[in-house]
Amino acid sequence: MNSKTKGITKRISRRELLKTSASALAVGAAVSALPAPAVFGAARTIKIGMVSPETGPIAAFGEADQFVLSAVRKALKDGIKVGGQTHPVEIIYKDSQSNPNRASEVAAQLINKDRVDIMIASSTSDTTNPVADQCELNGVPCVTSDDPWQAYFFGRRGNPKTGFKWTYHFFWGFDQVANLFADMWLTIPNNKIVATMFTNDPDGIAANGPHGMPPAFRAKGFDVRQLGLYPPLSDDFTAQIRGLKKNGSDIACGIFNPPQFATFWTQCAQQGYRPKIMTPPKAVLFPTAVEALGKRGEGISTEVWWSQHHPYRSGLTGETAQQFCDAYTAATGKQWTQPIGFKHANIEVAIDALKRSASLKPADILKAITETDYKSLVGPITWKGGPLNPVKNVCTTPLVGGQWKKGKKFAYDLHTVFNGAAKDIPLDSSFEAIKYS
């Protein structure tokens, strides 16, 4: 190459460099002019891990998960601001398959592989406890719900004096539900003999224990006949039904998974046991579970932890309970179910903590969780200390009594029939003894 050619090359190179620099400045100016929420710049993605039973024996608890996630992801499309910087948000969902070992396994994956910033989990101790244990072990902030708090706290061998560091929970307790049931039962004539049967799993063990339901029933004047623990996947309840008939119990109360309760209730009909009151926590929370009982679904009673009539709204979307239930039915054609409110609230509470956190450091997120004072779709949530916090890591939520009655649009409607401890939640009808044809 001669000297003339070299000179031309240098001039062209300089000219191209100036042109490229000008273009870059123009692009930069254009980008900076865009609305802030649409551009995250160097802000990294916030990752929320979510574990729930979408399949398996307790899949009814996770039936509405994808609807809830769709609504929340829409609300979070512009990201959230943490420590003055707007971040995109990714919710990574894992199915526990209704198996505690699987729940532990996917929680470990979310922590070690996906590097989530905060974890949420819900739907019985088969999900909440193994997930929370993984988070406590690995120092990951965690918020769980939808499991009676004694099963969560004492099921994880929590010490009321010290509690846990990284894991927090909101839901009602067995003491609340026992007092609720007893007060509801007292509103109609019965012989005050209640027979109990519980699953041999964390929920059943906690319900049957010293912090569980029988002591509260006795304190209300009931004669409690404890029929012991039975294997969770039982398909023969002859021994339990024999005990119910022998004791002459007007009232039966037991913890079942929905498929097991359908088997139990069918066998009660076959073996001639007809209680005035049948109140199984957990088993008949869902319309599908009651519809599976046919005509014998009418009159079964249960706890109601959330409904379309609860007087709360989401702090994230502003929707009322009624609006959220109507949106679910419009989108799916299905009847609302109790877990959808808590699924939504579980995510809400995590988002609220992230928004208040000074940074995405685990210690800062944890601090924000401990300072929570939030109005959610299921009611107020706080861990700052007070009447809602029976132990350090637990916040209790309102509870009323419900009964399945013939429906209008659907086969059965869940009526709120007793609200002694939560007068702000309206009644739909009065509590009644089961009618047999």
Note down pLDDT in tens along the chain; length 437 residues.
Answer: 444 444 433 333 333 433 444 444 333 433 333 334 445 556 999 999 999 999 998 898 999 999 999 999 999 999 999 999 999 999 999 999 999 999 999 999 999 999 999 999 999 999 999 999 999 999 999 999 999 999 999 999 999 999 999 999 999 999 999 999 999 999 999 999 999 999 998 889 989 988 889 999 999 999 999 999 999 889 999 999 999 999 999 999 999 988 899 999 999 999 999 999 999 988 999 999 999 999 999 999 999 999 999 999 999 999 999 999 999 999 999 999 999 999 999 999 999 999 999 999 999 999 999 999 999 999 999 999 999 999 999 999 999 999 999 999 999 999 999 999 999 999 999 999 999 98
Pairing relationship of beta strands 142-145 and 394-395 according to DSSP bridges = unpaired
Position 203 scores a pLDDT of 87
Query: For residue 373, what is the enclosing H or E element?
Result: strand 373-376
Would you state the pLDDT for residue 341?
A: 96
Q: Is residue 140 domain-shared with residue 257, that is, in the same domain? A: no
Runs of H (alpha helix) within 271-319 = 287-291
Host domain of residue 331: 46-172+309-395
**CATH number of the domain to which 207 belongs:** 3.40.50.2300
**Residues 82 and 126 placed together within one structural domain of the fold:** yes
In a domain, 147, yes or no: yes
Report phi then psi at 414, rounded to 5: -90, 110
- Residues 6+ positions from 265 with CB-CB distance below 8 Å: 278, 293, 296, 300
Residue 404 within a domain: yes
276-311 b/e (C-beta count within 10 Å ≥ 16 → b) = bbbbbbbbbbbbebbebbeebbbbbbbbbbbbbbbe
Does 437 map to a domain?
no
Residues 407 and 273 in one domain: yes
Residue 93 lies in a domain: yes
- Tell me, yes or no, whether 404 and 273 share the same domain: yes
| CA 365/CA 117 separation, integer angstroms | 8
Q: Nearest 5 degrees, angle CA 32-CA 35-CA 40?
A: 75
Task: Please indicate, yes or no, whether residues 410 and 277 belong to a single structural domain of this protein.
Answer: yes
- What pLDDT score was predicted for residue 78? 96
Number of domains in the chain: 2
Same domain for 157 and 268, yes or no, is no
Do 273 and 413 lie in one domain? The reply is yes
Residue 103 burial (C-beta neighbours within 10 Å; 0-12, 13-18, 19+): buried
Q: What is the pTM of this model?
A: 0.85
Tokens standing for 148? Answer: 């009676």
Q: With the C-alpha atoms ordered 69, 356, 338, 260, is the resulting torsion angle positive or negative?
A: positive
Nearest by Cα to 94 from 141, 55, 50, 135: 50
SS3 4: helix
Cα–chain-centroid distance for residue 253?
Answer: 23
Looking at 395, 410, 428, the residue that finishes a domain is 395
Locate the DSSP E strands across 220-325: 223-230, 251-254, 277-278, 301-304
Burial of 408 per CB tally in 10 Å (0-12, 13-18, 19+):
exposed
| Six-digit token string for 400 | 């009323």
Q: How many CA atoms lie within 13 A of 229 on its CB side?
A: 13
Contact 400, 419 (CB under 8 A): yes
Q: What pLDDT is attached to residue 40?
A: 52
Q: Are 250 and 192 in contact (CB under 8 A)?
A: yes
Q: How far apart are CA 204 and CA 295, in angstroms?
A: 27
Kindly state whether residue 261 falls inside one of the protein's structural domains: yes
**pLDDT value of residue 57:** 86
pLDDT score of 41: 58
- Between CA 150 and CA 156 the distance in angstroms is 9
Domain identity same for 116 and 100 = yes
**273 Cβ partners below 8 Å, 6+ apart?**
241, 244, 245, 252
Residue 202 in domain: yes
Residue 75 included in any domain: yes
| 314 shares its domain with 233 | no
- Regarding whether 184 and 122 lie in a shared domain, the answer is no
161 and 180 inside one domain: no
CA distance 150 to 198: 15
C-alpha distances out from residue 105 to 46, 69, 132, 141, 143, Å: 21, 22, 12, 17, 18
Beta-carbon contacts of residue 382 (< 8 Å; ≥ 6 apart): 372, 373, 374, 388, 389, 395
Residues 130 and 58 grouped into a single domain: yes
Q: Which tokens sit at 185?
A: 């039962």
Residue in the block written with tokens 């049957």: 208
The answer to the question of residue 11 being in a domain is no
> CA 106, 107, 112, 118: dihedral to nearest 10 degrees?
140
